Amino acid sequence: MQFHYNGFTPGDPTTARIGNPEDTRPRRDPLPEECDVLIVGCGPAGLTLAAQLAAFADIKTCIIEQKDDRITLGQADGIACRTVEMFEAFDFAERVLKEACWINETSFWRPDPETPDHIYRSGRIQDTEDGLSEFPHVVLNQARVHDFYLDVMRNGPGHIVPYYSRRLLDLEVDPNAGTGARASSHPVTARIERSDAGHEGDVETIRARYVVGCDGARSVVRHEIGRKLVGDSANQAWGVMDVLAVSDFPDFRMKAAIHSANEGNAILIPREGGFLVRLYIELDKLNENERVANKNITVDHIIAAAQRIFRPYSLEVKEVPWWSVYEIGQRLCDKFDDVPEDQIATRLPHVFITGDACHTHSPKAGQGMNVSMGDGFNLGWKLAAVLQGRSAPELLHSYSGERQTIAKQLIDFDRELARMFSARPKTGPDDTEGVDPAEFQKYFVQHGRFTAGTAIHYAASDICGGHDNQHLAAGLTTGMRFHSAPVIRLADAKPIHLGHTVKADGRWRVFAFAASDDQGGPDGKIAQLCDWLENGTDSPIRRATPKGADLDSVIDLRVVFQKYHRDLRLDKMPALLLPTKGRHALRDYEKIYCPDLNPGQDIFDMRGIDRARGCMVVVRPDQYVANILPLDDNAGLAAFFQRIMLPAM
């Protein structure tokens, strides 16, 4: 898609419509008095969380935002491969892939040894290693990602539409809260001030079972639960600008990291539509405790700095739709909820913080929006499971436990990347302060999986089994995201990606990979597993599924055989693999899969699955591998779900 070539226009490029259509203008109704979840802030974390909660008609979610409407220009733009996989779970990956700019290669520029005040290309790498994800690394205006989430929220069963022009004043948590029973109460009370025309200064009070602060680096929610962002003070200013510009720089449509000899450093990020580019430009070092706001930096300073760095290439800026100046700093909260470390055993969390509210860092590695959305996705299914009575509220402790660790890793990585990037290029072997741009490139490549978001690895816990059976599926690591692979659907021979069956619907998945000779017949382990899951007294499906609900509504079993799809007989499959669903008791034909036998596409080979024994892979609602078990380990599967799920009522 090409757009912006006659100048920048915000909004959906396919409609060329500026502003919201009739039915998406900001609502003007007052907040309700009560809700299940109050989300503070319509940023990436808050919208991901809201989109997840919108999957449930019986969960009442309110999301508020200080701004008076959806944003049309966003700060963030980098979307990691792993994030596109998550978008697929929310069913809008194809909209992002169509509209975004794909980052296919990254190039590295350094001072030309012959003419040091000129830059030259010292390296060029494939941005994402082959096979790391079925999706590319892309770049798209954060505002459009918001739009896609707002659609999911509005169209979902929970029908969530933000309340804009609302500022959180304060929070109070009932000290007697935390009995854990859903019916108990709405222990958090929030006071919220309106700023929309006719209601300026009106204060509303809302009581919530849970409050989630997605309210950014100056989070009021964080302040109210007494947590602090702790970390390095920033002493380096960067300018960032989105420009429509003409340049003879040869990599003007590639991601490029540029180190100049004496003029500082820059990162170029091509943007959606084929014309827009983003430039991150290093500005002068700040003095200690000097703040950006005091420097009176204008966009002309940034443009001039960019032009100096780009020499000998031209950079003629025609339009600047957005620009900003910021300081690098890596800061982190020690915990992401309202329960002190020493009270975890005795107290339940009711307030959470996500995204920039609990971790801030430089935008250099393009991680901010991605990790924030990961926070929202991680918390969302857990809140839903607890609110719907499927899991005990102790599950909610795992949010801070899992995500604080990830944020810490991000911040350590970002600190090192920022340090290496901001250092001046090494001038020679005796230069101990400079950094060799080749070293920077090496560090960048080494951490490719990290920046792609696919290296996230949750520690063992009740919701993440250990590695006892890792050898049964060497390529599907427990604690890491389920790495998708192609399969053929038996009933209609459609080629699909197995991982794309994991939608953001709060369900757990069990993928049973059949042993080599199993064709689904009654003597095979698949049939025995199905029989037990359908009829066994200790079956987790029987235990967890409410009476009258579809059999796959809580735990969704899908089977992958090893045979060519034409060699299997659908009419010989166990009944649980053709479950009847809905008010007509229609059959669901989408539970049985076969490998794609084209060269290099067999999921058993791609993911190192034990062909002789097969295995079960349990996948969480947020697409992470929760457990790997032998195919006949009924007791192990029952025990796993017993730890994390309550019996259905």
Q: Is the Cβ–Cβ distance between 55 and 505 less than 8 Å?
A: yes
The Cα 399–Cα 379 span in angstroms is 6
CA distance 117 to 110: 10
Contacts of 412 (CB under 8 A, 6+ apart): none
Cα separation, 186 vs 37, whole angstroms:
9
Site for a copy of itself (CB under 8 A): which residue of 46, 78, 270, 636? 270
Establish if 16 lies at the interface with a copy of itself (CB under 8 A).
Answer: yes
If one asks whether residue 252 binds a copy of itself (CB under 8 A), the answer comes out as: yes
Q: Does 500 bind a copy of itself (CB under 8 A)?
A: no
Question: Which SS3 state, helix, strand or coil, does residue 602 take?
Answer: coil
- For a copy of itself, the binding residue among 9, 75, 104, 324 (CB under 8 A) is 104
Residue 588 binding a copy of itself, by CB under 8 A: yes
Least CB distance from residue 569 to a copy of itself, whole Å?
7
Contacts 24+ apart (CB under 8 A), 122-125: 122/437, 122/438, 122/441, 123/437, 123/438, 123/441, 125/441, 125/444, 125/445
User: Can residue 112 be called a binding residue for a copy of itself (CB under 8 A)?
Assistant: no
Q: Which of 33, 172, 248, 439 binds a copy of itself (CB under 8 A)?
A: 248
17 binds a copy of itself (CB under 8 A): yes
CB closer to a copy of itself out of 268 and 637:
268
Q: Which of 131, 274, 312, 521 binds a copy of itself (CB under 8 A)?
A: 274
In the bound complex, what is the minimum distance in angstroms from residue 576's beta carbon to a copy of itself? Answer: 16
Among 288, 341, 433, 571, binds a copy of itself (CB under 8 A): 571
d(CA 43, CA 128): 27
Q: Which residues 73-92 are close enough to bind a copy of itself by CB under 8 A? A: 91
Q: Are strands 351-353 and 101-103 parallel, antiparallel or unpaired?
A: unpaired
Q: Which range touches a copy of itself (CB under 8 A), out of 59-67, 203-211, 486-494, 640-648?
A: 486-494
Residue 3 sits in the site that holds a copy of itself (CB under 8 A): no
233 binds a copy of itself (CB under 8 A): no
SS3 401: helix
Q: Please, are residues 451 and 255 in contact by the beta-carbon 8 Å criterion?
A: no
Q: Cβ of residue 62: shortest distance to a copy of itself, in angstroms?
A: 22
Q: Is the peptide bond before 312 cis (omega within 30 degrees of 0)?
A: yes
Segment contacting a copy of itself by CB under 8 A, of 142-150, 170-178, 359-367, 579-587: 579-587
Task: Report the residue from 242, 590, 610, 622 that binds a copy of itself according to the rule CB under 8 A.
Answer: 590
Q: What are the CA-CA distances from residue 222 to residues 227, 229, 338, 401, 558 (Å)?
A: 5, 9, 9, 17, 41
Q: Which is nearer to a copy of itself, 170 or 492 (CB)?
A: 492
In three-state form (DSSP H/G/I as H, E/B as E, the rest C), the secondary structure along 97-109 is: HHHCEEECEEEEE
Minimum Å distance from CB 377 to a copy of itself?
Answer: 20
The nearer residue to a copy of itself, 492 or 605, going by C-beta atoms, is 492
At CA 506, angle to CA 501 and CA 512, rounded to 5? Answer: 45
* CA separation for the pair 452, 204 (Å, rounded): 41
CB of 266 to a copy of itself, least distance (A): 18
Q: Hey, which residues between 338 and 367 contact a copy of itself (CB under 8 A)? A: none
Residue 273 near residue 72, CB atoms below 8 Å: no
d(CA 444, CA 420): 10
Number of residues that bind a copy of itself (CB under 8 A): 55
Phi then psi dihedrals of residue 634, to 5 deg: -55, -45
- Footprint of a copy of itself on 162-201 (CB under 8 A): none
**Is residue 98 part of the contact set for a copy of itself (CB under 8 A)?**
yes
Binding site for a copy of itself (CB under 8 A): 1-2, 5-7, 14-17, 21-23, 91, 94, 98, 101-102, 104-105, 124, 151, 155, 244-246, 248, 250, 252-254, 270, 274-275, 318-319, 491-495, 566, 569-571, 580-590
